[in-house]
């Protein structure tokens, strides 16, 4: 019996190697093909002396070869260092220079980007190219056949499964170490209910799961690995779009899928015919607040419950959520809740200053005690929340004033810092405004240097050049003065009022 994550992955791959494991753009790759790609990656790393604990950078795209790479690194207990392919090439290169990784795995097309290759060369990284056409292909990048011995590389992280890219609460993006044991336990807990047949034997499932969220974020990676741990094939969407989503649901007829609220809104806006989603018994949502009005509208049209969840990278998955049973009993009277604590998790709300636990239905800082992280200690979040007398969690905002735009976290202070690099900008304040489709969007009020003549168009172009697309303010206003509080701090409510 497979007892650990690596053993489970290998056991699933060996069940029926000829059957389809990963579907991408209409092409199926078998479990045997996935195992062969994994073996090739393992051989290249082992030949270079890069064993367990090695931090391996992966420029993660939603493609079959990337799933194979993730599975191999987990099975061999190497550490996945996630890299965001949606950033501009210069930002990826800067990330690589900072990380000093001994190896970089990236799609063949990404190795054609001059800045990425130059950064890998400068770091002395072994370069591994992967591709997902009709076959899964693995090869060494010419000129990057081994880690450079004269370079200082990042130290091994023997007990860390993923160094997951996320956003900090008050500063630039950071990476969180996700311990192997935590990730393993979360996966096994989530897969337990469907991982075995009625006779206790590990068996492949027939229906494919549908990956709609990016693997560079914890939700997408967790879901992709969970499919394999649960012995289930996986159909992969590189990026969410309504037409492809509907086509995959029609083809594979999944019972459940996971979507961010933004995708739910896109389905509504596209007026998808309800019969095209008839196979779905429920949709799990997360990564951003679920608008209660939108949820009511969607469920009325599609007769498909939206089961909201709450989690974070630090928790290696969700710690609260709705069940179908709770949805049937409480959805109308608890709308807006993120559900109740999941098995093995405890939630409480505390006073930010004293740390004292607050009574039910009182807003404070949310703390979590999760078995997959640390069953003995409370972990404080940056979320403002309240928990009612029946244990339902309501998220009321963020203590760090981050903006969640379509599931992506935008830190106003980080955007402001970048915008202030423009020579014409003297001061800037970025705030979030509600948005029906994306949840919230950033806007910026800008105070120029005396006698500066920059235009909104010029500043917007600068923002697009320097920032990731979801960080770019949707609107900018050049102001004569920034509104301030009596203590001379910029008044964020008054800045928001400028855009009302």
Pick the more confident residue, 417 or 71: 71
Residue 477: its pLDDT value, please? 96
DSSP 3-state of 316: coil
**Pair 215, 222: CB distance under 8 Å:** no
Residue 185: its pLDDT value, please? 86
Alpha-helical runs (H) found in 253-364: 261-269, 292-302, 324-330
pLDDT band at 165; cut points 50, 70, 90: confident
Q: Give me the sheet containing 27-30, strands edge to edge.
A: 27-30, 20-24, 234-236, 209-211
Residue 92: its pLDDT value, please? 94
pLDDT band at 265; cut points 50, 70, 90: confident
What values do phi and psi take at 22, rounded to 5? Answer: -130, 125
What values do phi and psi take at 190, rounded to 5? Answer: -70, -35
CATH number at residue 36: 3.40.50.980
Domain interval for residue 129: 5-191
Residue 199: its pLDDT value, please? 54
Give the integer Cα–Cα distance in Å for 26 and 124: 37
Give the residue-averaged pLDDT of 171-177: 66
Residue 344: its pLDDT value, please? 83
Sequence-distant (≥ 6) Cβ neighbours of residue 172 within 8 angstroms: 411, 414
Residue 290 in any domain: the answer is no
Reference 218, options 82, 345, 328, 353; nearest CA is 82
Greatest CA separation found in the chain? 78
What are 220-259's pLDDT values in tens digits?
899 999 999 999 999 999 999 999 999 999 999 999 999 9
pLDDT band at 2; cut points 50, 70, 90: low
DSSP 3-state of 353: coil
Residue 94: its pLDDT value, please? 93
What are 385-422's pLDDT values in tens digits?
999 999 999 988 777 778 889 988 888 888 998 998 99
Residue 200: its pLDDT value, please? 62
pLDDT band at 172; cut points 50, 70, 90: very low
Residue 129: its pLDDT value, please? 98
Give the residue-averaged pLDDT of 107-118: 96
Spell out a b/e string for 342-375, using b for 16 or more CB atoms within 10 Å of the CB, else e.
beebebbbbeeeeeeebeeeeebbbbbbbbbbee
Q: What is the DSSP letter of 470?
A: G
Residue 222 in any domain: the answer is no
**Pair 9, 108: CB distance under 8 Å:** no
Give the residue-averaged pLDDT of 210-222: 89
Residue 74 in any domain: the answer is yes
Residue 241 in any domain: the answer is no
pLDDT band at 451; cut points 50, 70, 90: confident
What values do phi and psi take at 240, rounded to 5? Answer: -75, 130
| Pairing status of strand 55-59 against strand 79-83 | parallel
Pick the more confident residue, 311 or 224: 224
Give the residue-averaged pLDDT of 208-227: 91
Residue 145: its pLDDT value, please? 94
Give the residue-averaged pLDDT of 2-12: 89
Give the integer Cα–Cα distance in Å for 81 and 74: 11
Reference 81, options 91, 65, 68, 69; nearest CA is 69
Q: Is the pLDDT of residue 169 over 70?
A: no
What are 328-381's pLDDT values in tens digits?
999 999 988 999 998 889 999 999 889 999 999 998 999 999 877 788 889 998
**Pair 471, 410: CB distance under 8 Å:** yes
Which token pair is 427?
């001061």
Residues in the chain, how many?
A: 500
End position of a domain, from candidates 171, 191, 211: 191
End position of a domain, from candidates 136, 162, 191: 191
Give the integer Cα–Cα distance in Å for 476 and 445: 6
pLDDT band at 193; cut points 50, 70, 90: very low
Which residues is 394 bridged to in the sheet?
A: 386
Give the integer Cα–Cα distance in Å for 220 and 492: 33
Give the integer Cα–Cα distance in Å for 199 and 119: 52
What are 81-110's pLDDT values in tens digits?
999 888 889 989 999 999 999 999 999 999
Structurally, how many domains does the chain consist of? Answer: 2
Residue 331 in any domain: the answer is no
**Pair 422, 436: CB distance under 8 Å:** no
Average pLDDT over the chain reads 90
Give the integer Cα–Cα distance in Å for 133 and 22: 12
pLDDT > 70: percent of the chain:
95
Give just the sign of the alpha carbon dihedral 400, 401, 404, 405. negative
Q: Taking the CB of residue 472, how many other CB atoms lie within 10 A of it?
A: 22
Residue 378 in any domain: the answer is no
Reference 468, options 59, 61, 87; nearest CA is 87
Residue 192: its pLDDT value, please? 57
Q: Taking the CB of residue 135, how many other CB atoms lie within 10 A of it?
A: 13
Q: What CA dihedral angle connects 309, 13, 6 and 84, to 10 degrees?
A: -50
What percentage of the chain's residues is helix, strand, coil (to nearest 5)?
Answer: 30, 30, 40
| Pairing status of strand 408-410 against strand 425-435 | unpaired
End position of a domain, from candidates 137, 166, 191: 191
CATH number at residue 470: 3.30.300.30
Which token pair is 499?
């855009």
């Amino acid at each position: 019996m497979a007892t650990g994550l690596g053993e489970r992955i290998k056991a699933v791959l060996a069940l029926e190697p000829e059957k389809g494991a990963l579907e991408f753009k209409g092409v199926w790759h078998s479990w045997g093909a996935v195992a062969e790609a994994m073996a090739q990656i393992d051989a290249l790393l082992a030949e270079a002396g890069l064993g367990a604990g090695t931090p391996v950078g992966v420029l993660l795209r939603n493609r079959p070869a990337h799933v194979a790479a993730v599975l191999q690194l987990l099975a061999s207990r190497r550490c996945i260092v996630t890299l965001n392919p949606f950033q501009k090439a210069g930002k990826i290169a800067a990330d690589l220079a900072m990380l000093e990784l001994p190896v970089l795995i990236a799609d063949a097309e990404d190795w054609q980007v001059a800045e990425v290759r130059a950064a890998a060369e400068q770091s002395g990284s072994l370069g591994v190219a992967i591709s997902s056409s009709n076959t899964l292909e693995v090869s060494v990048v010419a000129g990057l056949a081994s880690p450079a011995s004269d370079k200082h590389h990042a130290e091994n992280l023997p007990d860390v499964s993923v160094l997951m890219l996320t956003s900090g609460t008050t500063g630039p993006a950071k990476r969180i170490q996700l311990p192997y044991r935590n990730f393993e336990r979360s996966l096994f807990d989530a897969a337990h209910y469907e991982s075995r047949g009625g006779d206790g034997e590990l068996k492949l499932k027939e229906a494919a799961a549908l990956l709609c969220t990016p693997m560079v974020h914890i939700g997408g990676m967790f879901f992709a690995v969970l499919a394999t741990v649960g012995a289930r094939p996986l159909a992969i969407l590189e990026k969410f779009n309504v037409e492809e989503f509907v086509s995959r649901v029609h083809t594979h007829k999944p019972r459940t899928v996971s979507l961010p609220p933004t995708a739910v809104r896109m389905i509504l806006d596209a007026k998808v015919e309800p019969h095209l989603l008839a196979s779905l018994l429920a949709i799990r949502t997360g990564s951003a607040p679920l608008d209660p009005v939108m949820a009511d509208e969607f469920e009325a049209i599609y007769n498909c419950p939206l089961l909201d969840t709450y989690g974070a990278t630090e928790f290696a998955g969700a710690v609260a959520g709705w069940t179908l049973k709770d949805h049937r009993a409480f959805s109308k009277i608890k709308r807006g809740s993120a559900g109740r604590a999941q098995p093995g998790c405890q939630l409480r709300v505390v006073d930010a200053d004293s740390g004292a636990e607050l009574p039910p239905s009182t807003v404070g800082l949310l703390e979590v005690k999760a078995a997959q992280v640390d069953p003995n200690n409370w972990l404080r979040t940056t979320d403002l929340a309240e928990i009612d007398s029946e244990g339902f969690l309501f998220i009321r905002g963020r203590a760090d004033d981050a903006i969640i735009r379509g599931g992506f976290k935008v830190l106003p202070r980080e955007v402001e810092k970048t915008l202030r690099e423009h020579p014409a900008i003297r001061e800037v304040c970025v705030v979030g405004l509600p948005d029906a489709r994306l949840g919230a969007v950033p806007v910026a009020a800008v105070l120029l240097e005396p006698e500066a003549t920059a235009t909104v168009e010029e500043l917007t172009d600068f923002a697009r050049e320097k920032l990731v697309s979801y960080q770019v303010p949707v609107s900018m206003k050049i102001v004569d003065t920034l509104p301030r509080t009596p203590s001379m701090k910029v008044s964020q409510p008054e800045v928001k009022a400028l855009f009302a």
